[in-house]
A and B are shown apart, each in its own frame.
Chain A
Amino acid sequence: MKEWPLWEVFIRSSHGLAHKHVGSLRAADAEMAIGNARDVYTRRNEGVSIWVVRAADIAASSPGDKEPLFDPARSKVYRHPTFFELIDGVKHM
């Protein structure tokens, strides 16, 4: 019989942060994937919500595109608040 598909697991911690990728596992279907994720990745109160996604359904950027994708942001320093020097005496900004 064929191997169970691979799933990627995302957990949201109780602190209100976004779901975060924590690892992968194999499971026959989504229900089993959530059950296994609960058994392996939330053993010590790591989370309050689980997402599982079939690894095959994830589209990813390719490392070869790193420069065209991410380099343009480098020169745009004005996107950061620290680019703008505050004049003396300004408060709450």
Chain B
Amino acid sequence: MYAQMVDTGVQRVLDAAELEGDERRFQDRIDAGIRVEPEDWMPESYRRTLVRQISQHAHSEVVGMLPEGNWITRAPSLLRKATLLAKVQDEGGHGLYLYAAAETLGVSRDDLIDALHAGKAKYSSIFNYPTLTWADIGAIGWLVDGAAIINQIPLCRCSYGPYGRAMVRVCKEESFHQRQGYDIMTRLAQGSEAQRRMAQDALNRWWWPAVMMFGPPDGESVHSAQSAAWRIKLHSNDDLRQRFIDQTVPQAELIGLTIPDADLRWNEERGHYDIGPIDWEEFYSVVRGDGPCNRERLAARKSAWDRGAWVRDAAAAHAAKHAGEQK
């Protein structure tokens, strides 16, 4: 997802009986559904894991502006341009909410951004794919934001108060993102033969990366189990992925597009769609930094940061000079 394979730093999940003192009281409160707030005592591993998860999520929102930003100047109409601009601005805001949530855990935004630029912090694999045609903007809104909604709605109820509240704000805006994307796809799918082909081609390229966004099956992952015990992960990757597939397949059919999976079948018994094998090698290679756009994305972020340094410095100098003046 926007945060993938988050390391909790633990070797084994302890059960309640093995926990003592503060740790025990902390877990009891989580089990009772009581939110953790910044001033509350929390295990260092919980704090560190959340910093990792929330900052990775924040970086994804910000890096995610790049593939879509690529089409703002070339949107096919003024309305599409204004809409895309608003959508990309929203994503910048999502990054802000999330950095602010991470900052409540005692880290500074500048440090988090440094970690991203140094390659120490990750962002979602999905934003390392290129946006080759206008239809990709439709596919991203429909599929990527659609997948994000499925992941983020449960996170509104996660155990950490500031993260949950940030997710509530984010979720309010996501549904606009998904609908504008599906609207682009619908119009293209109903358009000329060339437009329909463009829509199908975008779906072909974005489908599997979107399916992979949810991350590999949790299996025996100790990190997934620990995050679940802490209630900062509320459903398994496979459950969320299934939800995404079940909701998206009929949407594709409705506009006459074909999901690029020969093994895709409705399974009457399970009441879900079955899909073909996922190429996890591709996923891991993107996560390792070898996706089609990893280097380009990081270079764009670094250059924006470096080229904006004089603006940050000038604003701070101006504020220092006028500090204490009565407005």
Contacts and interface: CB of A to CB of B under 8 A. Distances in A.
Given A3-B109, A3-B110, A43-B90, A28 B327 contact: no
Nearest to B90: A43
A6 B195 CA distance: 47
A40 interface: yes
B100 interface: yes
Interface residues of B, number: 29
Majority secondary structure of chain B interface residues (helix, strand, loop or mixed): helix
Given A2-B316, A28-B318, A23 B90 contact: no
Interface in B1-18: none
A70 to B, nearest CB: 14
Majority secondary structure of chain A interface residues (helix, strand, loop or mixed): mixed
Interface centre among B313, B316, B318 (most CB of A within 10 A): B316
A1 B317 CA distance: 9
B318 A23 contact: no
B316 A25 contact: no
A43 B93 contact: yes
A23 B312 contact: no
Nearest to B166: A23
Contacts of B312: 1, 4, 28
A25 B37 contact: no
A62 interface: yes
Contacts of A4: 312, 315-316, 319
A39 B93 CA distance: 9
B39 interface: yes
Interface string B71-91: 000000000000000100110
Given A23-B97, A25-B100, A60-B39, 8 more contacts: A1-B309, A4-B315, A4-B319, A6-B100, A23-B96, A29-B315, A29-B318, A29-B323
Interface of A: 1-4, 6, 22-26, 28-32, 39-40, 43, 60, 62-63
15 contacts: A1-B316, A3-B108, A4-B315, A6-B100, A22-B169, A23-B97, A24-B103, A25-B100, A31-B327, A40-B96, A43-B90, A43-B93, A63-B37, A63-B39, A63-B40
Interface of B: 37, 39-41, 86, 89-90, 93, 96-97, 100, 103, 108-110, 165-166, 169, 309, 312-313, 315-319, 322-323, 327
The 3 closest A-B pairs by CB, nearest first: A28-B315, A29-B319, A28-B319
